[in-house]
Amino acid sequence: MRELIPEVIGVLVRRGADFAAAEDAVQEALIEALRADPPRDPKGWLVTVAWRRFLDTTRSDAARRRREERVDAEPPPGPAAETDDTLQLYFLCAHPSLSPASAVALTLRAVGGLTTRQIAQAYLVPEATMAQRISRAKRTVAGVRFDQPGDVATVLRVLYLVFNEGYSGDVDLVAEAIRLTRQLAAVVDHPEAAGLLALMLLHHARRAARIAPDGSLVPLAAQDRGRWDTGMIAEGVGILQTALSRDRLGEYQAQAAIAALHADAPTAAETDWVQIVEWYDELVRLTGSPIVRLNRAVAVGEADGARAGLAALAELDEGLPRHTAVAAYLHERAGDHSVAARLYAEAARKAPNLAERDHLTRQAARLNTET
């Protein structure tokens, strides 16, 4: 039922509810829907219940008068408006006036229909904190008109954050990010929306192979490729090819192209690193990002040898996140095992999360205990 939320909020807004009240009303209607028998016409049911909820909470005479005037002025909802409503809701929840954390929370609640408790669990903060973050976000966008055009790029950044930074709880944020991006790509004609969807599918396809039974990270080269989801890879590649054929390259399409080249290699040794370096060159051109240059140095190390990779690395700032980890890897490939072991241990101390720290510690230990 959650996929109906954008349309239902859109109906309420066009009937005269403001966004914050409409969103609250739809959320309450969804909770009610969980208790009731499944309705035969879920959308009609949700609209009816949410509208009743909205009326219950806006009882004053003045409010009623204003509402009736607005209802008279509103055109009846039609099928064409539905895709527009979905898109408008994405724009509003990713509005540039919101901080990234607020935009993420508002998108998950208003577009995704997750409860505040679920979102709080996913980001490991108290429910009251998340409730405040969401209501502040709603106040921030209260003055934004629902029909103002927005920037798809800001929406894509929010969805990328949801995909990349999910934690725990009973909601799979990665799957939710894919669902929301798929829904967006269906209503907006934008090659980067398709590019992001392809990128997500190609990475998600490797999920089962990425974590060992003992919980440790498995690097790409060591993954059991038989455990990759080939159906999901095929879907991602198909979406990417259609997007690339439109000749409007962007960073998500380029990242997806790199993921597709990895997915395409039957074994790690058969990876087309030369083409991957070319895509990194495109990404450097598109973003200028030093992180991309760092990843490019790894690819150069595979395509042209570890010494070439180290030369590319030498041009970059040593303070970059994961610079030490990349240096360790390239030194190991170049045969300097003692240097690599020392760098792996140093990289472990600088690691941004436990899984990476444990992985890097294991790499250091592997080299220190080899005979």
Partner 1 sequence: MAKYLLLKHYRGAPAAVNDVPMDKWTQEEISAHMKYMNDFAARLEQTGEFVDGQALAPEGTFVRYDGEGRPPVTDGPFPETKDLIAGWMVIDVDSYERAVALAGELSAAPGAGGKPIHEWLELRPFLAEPPTVTE
Q: Applying CB under 8 A, which residues contact partner 1?
A: 214-216, 341, 344-345, 348-352, 354, 357-358, 361-362, 364-366, 368-369
Q: State the minimum distance, in angstroms, from the CB of residue 290 to partner 1.
A: 21
Output phi, psi for 267, to 5 deg.
-135, 160
156 contacts: CB under 8 Å, gap ≥ 6 = 181, 192, 193, 196, 252
272 φψ region: left (φ > 0), alpha (ψ -120 to 50), beta (else): beta
Nearer to partner 1, 223 or 255 (CB): 223
Nearer to partner 1, 197 or 348 (CB): 348
162 within 8 A of 176, measured Cβ to Cβ: yes
Q: State the minimum distance, in angstroms, from the CB of residue 349 to partner 1.
A: 5
Q: State the minimum distance, in angstroms, from the CB of residue 351 to partner 1.
A: 8
**Residue 211: strand pairing partners:** 217
Nearer to partner 1, 217 or 334 (CB): 217
SS3 content of the chain, % helix, strand, coil (to 5): 75, 0, 25
Q: State the minimum distance, in angstroms, from the CB of residue 363 to partner 1.
A: 9
Nearer to partner 1, 188 or 325 (CB): 325
Nearer to partner 1, 230 or 368 (CB): 368
How far lies 70's CA from each of 12, 55, 58, 148, 281, in Å? 11, 14, 14, 19, 54
Q: State the minimum distance, in angstroms, from the CB of residue 365 to partner 1.
A: 5
Cα–Cα dist 279/244, whole Å: 13
At 237, is the secondary structure helix, strand, or coil? helix
**Residue 135, amino acid:** S
Cα–Cα dist 159/164, whole Å: 9
Q: State the minimum distance, in angstroms, from the CB of residue 345 to partner 1.
A: 5
Nearer to partner 1, 121 or 271 (CB): 121
